[in-house]
């Protein structure tokens, strides 16, 4: 009889130990629950904290790490489609537009200068090119630096409103002396060869080229 009682007590003790062990396990690890999540509403969990920061629910998965496939793919640019852009020719920060295209033609034979805008003749000027011993170079050139006046100690002369078309070869006014007085004898030579290689013009015409013809304008010098 005592043996039966001892077996009964041992079995009861074993059941109690298992029961308390199960209770303690639930208190320590927490219970992972499954919920039906309402759309667009946050879920609040009360009680013991779950081991993971993710809560398994039926429907959408909410995670504070935000590592769902859609976000990861967006970060890796997998869902981004390339756009095609047409490039425009830019000068500085602005689109280059050619509204006025000038060219200057010097005729040594007739001692005249023609100015064209978009191939339309807009101005003809009488000039003086270089004398035979210091002739004006022929060919195709482009305008460069400009200035309001210069003076040459070598020749004792200067000029107003100069525009370079090749190095020291310039468009400029009829010459003035060291006192900046226009040399009237040189004014009278307009229409014939008289310079040291430059193209002389009246003060008015030299100023017009200075004000209106931009850098890099083509200049054609021929017979």
Cite the active site residues.
Answer: 172, 198
Residue 56: both structure tokens together: 């398994």
Residue 155: both structure tokens together: 């020749």
Report the alpha-carbon distance of residue 209 to residue 116 in Å, rounded: 12
In terms of Cα–Cα distance, which of 142, 160, 139, 163 is closest to 150? Answer: 160
Report the alpha-carbon distance of residue 113 to residue 123 in Å, rounded: 8
Report the alpha-carbon distance of residue 199 to residue 194 in Å, rounded: 9
Report the alpha-carbon distance of residue 223 to residue 39 in Å, rounded: 89
């Amino acid at each position: 009889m005592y043996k039966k009682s001892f077996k009964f007590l041992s079995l009861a003790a074993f059941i109690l130990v298992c029961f308390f062990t199960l209770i303690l396990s639930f208190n320590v690890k927490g219970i992972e629950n499954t919920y039906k999540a309402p759309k667009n509403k946050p879920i609040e969990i009360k009680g013991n904290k779950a081991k993971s920061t993710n809560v398994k629910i039926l429907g959408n998965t909410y995670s504070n790490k935000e590592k769902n496939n859609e976000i990861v793919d967006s970060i890796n640019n997998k869902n981004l489609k390339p756009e095609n852009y047409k490039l425009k020719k830019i000068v500085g920060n602005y689109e280059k537009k050619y509204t006025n295209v000038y060219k200057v033609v010097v005729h040594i034979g007739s001692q005249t200068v023609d100015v064209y805008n978009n191939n339309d003749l807009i101005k003809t000027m009488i000039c003086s090119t270089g004398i035979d011993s210091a002739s004006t170079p022929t060919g195709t050139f482009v305008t460069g630096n400009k200035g309001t006046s210069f003076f040459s100690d070598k020749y004792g002369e200067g000029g107003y409103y100069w525009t370079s078309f090749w190095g020291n070869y310039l468009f400029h006014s009829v010459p003035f002396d060291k006192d900046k007085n226009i040399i009237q004898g040189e004014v009278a030579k307009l229409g014939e060869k008289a310079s040291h290689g430059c193209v002389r013009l009246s003060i008015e015409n030299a100023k017009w080229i200075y004000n209106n013809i931009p850098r890099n304008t083509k200049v054609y010098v021929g017979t």
